[in-house]
Amino acid sequence: MNNKGSDKILSIYWFAILVLVAGGIFMMTISFYNHPYDVREIEAEIIINNIADCLSQNGELNSELFNATGFSEDFRTNFLAKCHLNFEAGEGEEGQYYSEISFYNAGDLNSLAYEITGGNKNLAASCSIQNEKEYKREAICVEKTFFSLNGENLYLIKILSAIGKAEKNVR
């Protein structure tokens, strides 16, 4: 009789431990999958890296950027296709991507030499208020700069990328 009573107490403790372990696993799973990951900043950096690779290889600017008179207007109008980027959204959706590429002569960093834009320009407005706490951010913006050569001319290139998709990434 003494042995059966201790088996009942042991089985109650064993059941309690199983319930605690199962409950812990359940709570960890819920907390992990309940919060979406906001990968927009990483996605913007990937887009910037792809654009930088399209514009410049080994420190030299892409020859398609220039024609006999200077910067090519054809590259500006077709830059998304030339850089193998697709900023199109699904049907009925507004674009969720924006990129802006600014070229400055290294001798005069205050005057813009050339600019290329693509995507939804409305997302660029979110970039100026990105660090303001009282406004809800619509987009995540990332900007990178680098230098590149065209023959003997050195250019500073600034690439700004904005990613919307707030409905899918922000709660």
Convert the pLDDT of each residue in 51-66 to its tens digit: 999 999 888 888 888 8
Would the pTM of this model clear 0.75, i.e. be above it? no
**Mind listing the pLDDT tens digit of every residue in the chain (171 residues)?**
456 666 677 788 888 899 999 999 999 998 888 777 778 889 999 999 999 999 998 888 888 888 878 888 888 888 888 888 888 765 445 678 899 999 998 888 888 888 998 888 888 887 777 555 555 567 888 999 999 988 888 889 999 999 887 666 555
Nearest to 87 by CA among 114, 112, 116: 116
- Show Cβ contacts of residue 28 under 8 Å, excluding neighbours closer than 6 positions: none
- Measured CA distances, 171 to 36, 163, 166 (Å): 8, 16, 8
What are the boundaries of each domain within the chain? Answer: 1-35, 40-169
State pLDDT tens for residues 141-151: 899 999 998 88
